[in-house]
């Protein structure tokens, strides 16, 4: 039985980092954006961060990585989008941002922090995963053909964007009708490592949509 979405979205434990945005995001410092895969991670001394997030993501054990079912579909959580060691790299980037924020008193745009590193074991697979829809081309009738799938409601709108490898850019040949943007969904499609840059939040992954349905657990 799938776990509830707020438990499944482990990297949403990045909610542990992103949710406390004003305390830890870079305000007016280096605004160069997320690191691309070729960029080396920044090293920094670890510190404890407690911003009231409900739970923290835990590293996945090797045997926990999901395999395709009898239909060739791999059901994943947001944790699985992070390659090995990525959570630690993101935490380091946020701590560096926090220290820079302490030195800056003028404010500025809150940037996206993270990397475009992807989990290669998922590339090319047909995957099924939960999330929230953030339309990029919403029509008056509610139809959309491209949207961002994000791990928690309000991502990229009320808070700075999650890291790029915690955002999936979704395209659909057939218009998708969205009636309740605040309601989570399951999406199924073919995953690629094609990055997508946009004004709301850059995505490290692209998904060619096959189907979607309301999230139930």
Considering the chain, what is the average pLDDT of its residues? 76
User: Taking 60 as the threshold, does the pLDDT of residue 104 lie above it?
Assistant: no
Residue-wise pLDDT for 149-167, tens only, equals 999 998 887 778 999 999 9
Residue-wise pLDDT for 74-95, tens only, equals 999 999 999 999 999 999 998 8
Domain boundaries, the chain: 5-214
Of the candidate ranges 40-44, 115-119, 195-199, the one whose mean pLDDT is the lowest: 40-44
Higher pLDDT, 72 or 18: 72
Say which DSSP state 96 is in: H
Determine what percent of the chain is predicted with pLDDT higher than 90: 49
pLDDT at residue 82, as a whole number: 96
CATH superfamily name and code, 5-214: Protein of unknown function (DUF3299) (2.40.50.870)
Cβ atoms of 181 and 131 within 8 Å: the answer is: no
- Determine the 3-state secondary structure of 33 from DSSP: coil
Cβ atoms of 91 and 145 within 8 Å: the answer is: no
Work out the average pLDDT over 40-58.
40
Work out the average pLDDT over 167-196.
93
pLDDT at residue 125, as a whole number: 98
pLDDT at residue 6, as a whole number: 38
User: Taking 90 as the threshold, does the pLDDT of residue 168 lie above it?
Assistant: yes
pTM of the model: 0.73
Higher pLDDT, 109 or 195: 195
Work out the average pLDDT over 14-27.
36
């Amino acid at each position: 039985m799938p776990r509830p979405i707020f438990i499944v979205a482990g990297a949403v434990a990045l909610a542990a980092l992103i949710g406390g945005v004003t305390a830890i995001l870079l305000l007016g410092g280096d605004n160069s954006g997320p690191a691309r895969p070729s960029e080396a991670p920044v090293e920094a001394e670890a510190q404890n961060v407690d911003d009231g997030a409900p739970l923290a993501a835990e590293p996945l054990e090797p045997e926990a990585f999901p395999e395709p079912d009898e239909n060739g579909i791999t059901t994943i959580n947001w944790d699985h989008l992070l390659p090995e060691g990525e959570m630690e790299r993101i935490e380091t980037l946020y701590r560096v941002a926090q220290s820079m924020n302490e030195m800056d008193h003028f404010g500025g745009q809150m940037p996206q922090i993270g990397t475009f590193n992807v989990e290669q074991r998922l590339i090319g697979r047909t995957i099924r995963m939960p999330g929230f829809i953030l339309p990029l081309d919403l029509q008056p009738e509610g139809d959309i053909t491209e949207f961002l799938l994000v791990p928690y409601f309000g991502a990229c709108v009320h808070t700075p964007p999650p890291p790029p490898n915690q955002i999936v850019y979704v395209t659909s040949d057939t218009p998708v009708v969205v009636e309740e943007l605040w309601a989570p969904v399951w999406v199924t499609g073919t995953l690629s490592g094609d990055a997508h840059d946009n004004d709301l939040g850059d995505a490290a992954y692209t998904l060619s949509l096959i189907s979607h349905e309301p999230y139930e657990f």
